A and B are shown apart, each in its own frame.
Chain A
Amino acid sequence: MTASLLDLVKTRTVLFDGAMGTELMARGLGPGVPPELWNAERPDAVREVYAAYYEAGADIVSTNSFGGTPLKLAAHGLDGRALELNRAAARLAREAAPAGRYVAGSMGPTGKFLTPQGPATEADLVAAYAEQARGLADGGVDVFIIETQYDLREALAAIRGARSVSPLPVFVTLTFNSFPRGYFTLMGDSVARSVAELEKAGAAAVGANCTLTSEQMVGCVIAIKTATSLPVIAQANAGQPVALADGTIGYSQTLEDYVRFVPAIVSAGAGFVGGCCGTNPDTIRAMVRVIRGEEKI
């Protein structure tokens, strides 16, 4: 019997994984192909990425379902397969997970704005996330992670959707930008307000991912920690994408530079730590070393 993640995080820092899309691209995922389709068409490649993160030392791997709401899949004409593709994403992760490790069902933004900025109603979003959550729960995830959300209202709708179909814990990360007045989402939700609302809506852990570098993430974690007693999640980007001389894309933070700020992220109060854009299994391996090193102290 595996201990609950929420119990585990009380005893030590828990490691998430890093980026998924770029790992699939390295295995041949072409531009314009939704990564979720590979859960059905290239299950071995998806399983291989999961396994690489577990092998690197991640306690939790997030499923290849970031764009897996039916609203998002509709852009590729795949909305009718949402249930199947999410279930497959979770099953493959379950198969790859060694005993005692965890699977988080990734739920990213629908890409639709809520009224009045866009066409979507809250009911549309709740229904979309509910369907995705149903697939992920069927496939055997331990928790949901609603991530990279830039609109607090969408994140709240996602929580409602998940909770309407499953009793599993719901983790939420928003993506904040850094301003002189503090950290805000694209829609202008402050850290304090976001965290309070997410907690009230029943989130089991809250945090930030994407956009911020590992250096910037330290301040953001401090702000989140100040606003909540829930466990805090931090998954920073390795800086910004940059075009390299050979025509490929890299990220502005080197592995060493990225990992350098991990101890500060942990001591700022993040219980769940992982990577986002520009990170890979090597990043997670290095983070594990740093965090374990700390634990000896």
Chain B
Amino acid sequence: MTKNEIYPKMNEAIVAGDREAARALAEDAVRSGLDLLEVVEQGYVPGIQKVGELWERGEYFLPELISSAEAMKAAMAVLDPALNRQNLGARIGGKVVIGTIEGDIHDIGKNLVASMLQAGGFEVFDLGADVKLERFIDKAEEVGAGMICLSALLTTTMMNQRRFIALLRDRGLRDKYKVLVGGAPANRKWAEEIGADGYAENAVAAVKLAKSFAGRP
């Protein structure tokens, strides 16, 4: 298939959440010797962007979002090793450390944001739920992340987002990382008040925000 034929199919596979098709098309692209960075950016990424738009319009809901993110992951599982062989990283978004903050075991929203960030081309280090504040920093330092995403579902544990920023400041690392906050009780005003770099209302908005920090369209 030529890229004019295959890109729309890749796009469709993501929008339809068709994991098998997404993977098969990626294998096809590798075999055909297509420019794999272009395959990612013009074949698959527009699909996940379309999914984001459908979600924002209330046409797509969580099951569709998860299926599409899974399809994206299936394609990237094929493309990543091939790109690495060519010494081209597709994870051009950079590295992100994410987790639900200490005291809070809710992880549905966080998992979705992690999934969508990964689908959006970020290398994601998901620390899980009830993550100690120090662990976010240690992990970010260890892997050389540029962004730290903190989730909190409870009004009580949301306070730990504020404590995290203070801890980052105490350790002299505040300017080293972009800190994004999310979760049901958080909002833009809260992010501003605690001195976070950004707030996203949902997984789709989180990807947009993360991309804007990474200087990507």
Number of A-B residue pairs at CB separation under 8 A: 59
The closest CB in chain A to the CB of B19 belongs to A116
What does DSSP make chain B's interface, helix, strand, loop or mixed? loop
Q: Is B108 an interface residue (CB 8 A)?
A: yes
Q: Mark A149-192, 1 if CB is under 8 A from B, else 0.
A: 00000000000000000000000000000011100111110000
Known: A111-B108, A188-B63, A243-B190. A31 touches B154 (CB 8 A): yes
Please, which residues of chain A bring their CB within 8 A of the CB of B57? 180
Q: Is A25 an interface residue (CB 8 A)?
A: yes
Size of chain B's interface in residues, with CB distance under 8 A?
A: 29
Contact B187 A187 (CB under 8 A): no
Please, which residues of chain A bring their CB within 8 A of the CB of B187? 240, 242
Shortest A90–chain B CB gap in Å is: 24
Known: A32-B104, A242-B187, A243-B189. A186 touches B156 (CB 8 A): no
Q: Is B58 an interface residue (CB 8 A)?
A: yes
Contact B66 A117 (CB under 8 A): yes
Chain A residues numbered 192-237 whose CB sits less than 8 Å from any CB in chain B: none
Please, which residues of chain A bring their CB within 8 A of the CB of B159? 31, 247
Known: A241-B185, A242-B189. A117 touches B155 (CB 8 A): no
Q: How far is the CA of A117 from the CA of B64 in the complex (A)?
A: 9
Contact B105 A184 (CB under 8 A): no
Contact A32 B62 (CB under 8 A): no
Q: How far is the CA of A134 from the CA of B196 in the complex (A)?
A: 45
Q: Which one of B61, B108, B157 contacts A31 once the chains associate, using CB atoms below 8 Å? A: B157
Q: Is B106 an interface residue (CB 8 A)?
A: yes
Contact A186 B61 (CB under 8 A): yes
Q: How far is the CA of A247 from the CA of B194 in the complex (A)?
A: 10
Shortest A233–chain B CB gap in Å is: 21
Known: A180-B58, A186-B62, A188-B64. A249 touches B158 (CB 8 A): yes
Please, which residues of chain B bring their CB within 8 A of the CB of A111? 105-106, 108
Known: A31-B154, A242-B187, A243-B193. A188 touches B104 (CB 8 A): no
Shortest B213–chain A CB gap in Å is: 23
Q: Is A113 an interface residue (CB 8 A)?
A: yes
Please, which residues of chain A bring their CB within 8 A of the CB of B80? none
Known: A31-B156, A241-B155, A243-B190. A181 touches B58 (CB 8 A): yes
Shortest A195–chain B CB gap in Å is: 17
Please, which residues of chain B bring their CB within 8 A of the CB of A76? 105
Shortest B197–chain A CB gap in Å is: 17
Q: Is B89 an interface residue (CB 8 A)?
A: no
Chain B residues numbered 91-112 whose CB sits less than 8 Å from any CB in chain A: 102-106, 108
Please, which residues of chain B bring their CB within 8 A of the CB of A180? 57-58
Q: Which one of B61, B160, B185 contacts A187 once the chains associate, using CB atoms below 8 Å? A: B61
Q: How far is the CA of A24 from the CA of B157 in the complex (A)?
A: 15
Contact A249 B155 (CB under 8 A): yes
Contact A188 B62 (CB under 8 A): yes
Q: How far is the CA of A94 from the CA of B179 in the complex (A)?
A: 47
Contact B62 A25 (CB under 8 A): no
Q: Is B126 an interface residue (CB 8 A)?
A: no
Q: How far is the CA of A117 from the CA of B155 in the complex (A)?
A: 27
The closest CB in chain A to the CB of B184 belongs to A241
Chain A residues numbered 22-52 whose CB sits less than 8 Å from any CB in chain B: 22, 25, 31-32
Please, which residues of chain A bring their CB within 8 A of the CB of B156? 25, 31, 249
Contact B154 A184 (CB under 8 A): no
Chain A residues numbered 242-259 whose CB sits less than 8 Å from any CB in chain B: 242-243, 247, 249
Other 17 A-B pairs with CB < 8 A, given A32-B130, A113-B108:
A31-B156, A31-B157, A31-B160, A32-B103, A32-B104, A32-B157, A111-B108, A179-B58, A180-B58, A181-B58, A185-B61, A187-B62, A188-B61, A188-B62, A241-B155, A241-B158, A247-B159
